Amino acid sequence: MLEVKIAFFVIGAFFGMQNARIVAEKTVVTLHPEQQLIEFEQQKLYAVLMRKEDSLLLNEEWKILNTPENRSWVKEVSDKDTAVLEFRKEDKSITAYIAFTYPEEKVLQSFGLYKNKEGKWCIKNIPDWNIESKEGTLKGGYWVFDAQQKIRFSVRSYFETIEKQGYTKQDIYSYIVRSQ
């Protein structure tokens, strides 16, 4: 089974941050196979906090993400010159837009995307991710997509699961407004 190394709803995962706290409520993933381009639109960013000290770590994480010279893309993002991270304020929330080109399809395996024996793109259906797609079909525990078409699917965050474990949710937009 394919190991997912980079969860696309955790922004710090794109920069090798261990225990990253900033996640997206919803992430829309768009794969353009012909251009070898993948895009991630991380909507309604929030932080997952357990202790009061976590807000200090959140402050440090946000500083790194907002300072291009302080952040380093993971090796899977091999073309650093084309890689993009932009933050957008939208309707009292923050959206992160991440995009990069990839040199070969196997790079996408770190994100859980791969081609099956029939040459179709697949991603495992992980129930806590709440994957939805109009282009894909759910077959036997996997989402399957036509390899020649643009692929688009969304992932809804798993916060309800971790909330039961005592974590709290801090809206990033409110956090930024308070800290300015």
Q: What is the structure's pLDDT at 114?
A: 92
Q: What is the pLDDT of residue 53?
A: 75
Task: Give the DSSP H/E element, type plus range, for residue 34.
Answer: none
Q: How far apart are CA 71 and CA 92, in angstroms?
A: 25
In the chain, what's the furthest Cα-to-Cα distance?
52
For every one of its 180 residues, what pLDDT tens digit does the chain have, with 9 covering 90 and above? 556 666 778 899 899 888 888 999 999 999 999 999 999 999 999 998 887 777 778 888 999 999 988 889 988 887 777 899 999 998 899 999 999 999 889 889 888 899 999 999 999 998 888 899 999 999 999 999 998 889 999 998 766 666 667 778 888 988 877 776
Write the CB contacts of 125 (distance below 8 Å, at least 6 apart in sequence): 131, 138, 141, 142, 143
134 neighbors 156 (Cβ within 8 angstroms): no
Please give the C-alpha separations between residue 26 and each of 52, 80, 101, in angstroms, as whole numbers: 25, 25, 22
Q: Which residues contact 92 (CB under 8 A, 6 or more apart)?
A: 173
pLDDT of residue 147: 87
Domain boundaries, the chain: 11-179
The pLDDT assigned to 2 comes to 55
Helix 54-65 to helix 172-179 angle (10° resolution) is 90
